[in-house]
Structure 1
Amino acid sequence: MKPTLGYAVISSRPVLITGAAGFIGFHLCQRLLAEGRQVIGLDSMNEYYDVTLKQARLSRLKASPNFRFEHVDLTDRDRISALFHSAAPETVVNLAAQAGVRYSLTNPHAYAESNLNGFLNILEGCRHASVGHLVYASSSSIYGGSTRMPFCVHDPADHPLSLYAASKKANELMAHTYSHLFALPTTGLRFFTVYGPWGRPDMALFIFAKAILAGEPIDVFNHGNMQRDFTYIDDIVEGIARVMRHPATANPDWTSAAPDPATSSAPFRIHNVGGNSPVQLNRLIEVLEDALGRKANRNLMPIQPGDVPATFADVSSLQEATGFKPKIPIEIGVPRFVEWYREFYRV
């Protein structure tokens, strides 16, 4: 079926963004507010990382009269239900989740509570509020042990290597159920190693920059031979914004005899959103060194449990559906991150 590349008429109903004070959520809210949309931002403001960074993001969003903040945890079923009932959002973008592969090794229950129970509350809210489109964050981590590159949404992804990855795969399966049972259009986006200004402090680029500027060594896993499809935040937001305007539809060619994991006879879609150009970790460090004007003291280490050696996104389904593919290379994105980091932390 040919994709519709034109933009749908923007609804007067609000957009609900969960994880609004998070890295991706903050940038997406800014984008939608700049377009004149009414945005309801939901966040639990948990302490997984520095809350002051979340508060700084949130203060910028609150400067817009079109932004309304709701301090709610996804696991609070009654409050989530009441919010959907009162707000009646046209579109929901679920970016709230317990993130982090390594954190899932020591805090597994956080992933069941937020990523499974919390996501179920979002699905139920969408169902009963007649939401027009649910877009939700999945992850490149679900490709797990697969070595077939590039990762393609039409290939099976059934061997995750961490509980975080398993919870994201579960989200896709849960979403499909609601698409099938209740005709709820759902689109899952598998994000690939997102970076950029206002990023998460637990991500490698953030950790490396902080250590290098402090003259401290950096731990480089897999001896720097890891490859990641680094994706700049502006490309991620552009991908989400375009997908929002193209609600998932049924694939008329889908067949149960040869089921396509990325589409369905229900209004369900999965897309990769990645840079489409994997970069070796050692190369990322070199670009960061150039931007900082300092050399890193590298502590080379073996690969960690739960990590995968490489990621590489096939973004053809995203391009077919929206006409867009990420394009900002690390040589542009990393210096932008460094400029923001120096200004925000006054380094």
Structure 2
Amino acid sequence: MAKHSKTPTALYEKDGVKQPDSVNQSVAQNVKQFRRKQPSANELVEGILKGDKIALSRAITLIESTNTEHLDKANEVIQGCLPHANQSVRIGITGVPGVGKSTFIEAFGKYLTAIGKKVAVLAVDPSSSISHGSILGDKTRMEELVKDENAYIRPSASGDSLGGVARKTRETIILCEACGFDTIIIETVGVGQSETAVHSMVDFFLLLKIAGAGDELQGIKRGIMEMADTIVINKADGDNIAKAKLAKTEFNRALHLFPAKNSGWTPKVTTCSAYEKTGIDQVWQIIADYFELTKENQYFEHKRQEQNQYWMLETINEQLKNRFYSHPEIKILLEQNKKAVQNNEISPFAAAQILLEKYFK
């Protein structure tokens, strides 16, 4: 039998230079150790008070966690930050999808940091009712503001809370204030239920509109218009300037149909172009005038006190609901009653009464 030739053939390939690992194992191990080591509540509070954005982000993640084990630690962080909070102005911004909220907030935020303000943007992103996922793309949209040292952007998924803002957003405001941010901006998911929740946690409520999209008719509708402290008509540029001016006149007429506000403030209407960054200074001037008036007539503090009471009651409602549905015996009884209700063996009201009586025994 002939021996195999050891002479290299055309198919023979020499061993090449060994490529280094794509991941430095030493660095990867250090990152794992860092992630595994969770900072204590006191360490998070100390970091927040020093203006550390990483500590702030980790604390917000703790607050947003649905893990019941994190609740006590989150409350400890909030309690530590509370004495250093309430030193900011809180602005809620809403508008229909496509009105340019993210573009406006970036232009507005850059203007504020340019005049010496520290801005925190809490952007509530809608969660899918099917997959329960959320894009959280606000940092991508606000690419200039996200690089600003005096700005902080935190997108959060709305989840299943009312309009995407509830206790978690309220407590995030406290942490941002303790971290030294003097202007808090809350962007809502769009016109709907979220406006009620946002209105109950901000000092000033700004409604963004666009001209030429049938919005003039919406101007005479109640609800969202009654909550607005100012209406800003965005995209007032190019061929749209004349339409924006006309819309401004229409909205001014509509605002006169509403009753006077308890704050003594008369809502204003103005135009701007977030894309061209024009009219942004006028928006801030309106907001500054509002705060000057409401602090002078004591309404600012009165509204904050009312909001604190409101959120105490809301938290009680939320905790009661969570504890009810997580009760082991209620879980079993609930499934039984669901089937009985579906089969028309018992009325929904009677089933609910049985469950509640069982829980409160």
The alignment's TM-score, normalised by the length of structure 2, stands at 0.25
| Higher RCO (CA < 8 A, seq sep 6+) | 1
Q: Of Structure 1 and Structure 2, which has the larger fraction of its residues in helix? A: 2
Highest CA radius of gyration, 1 or 2?
2
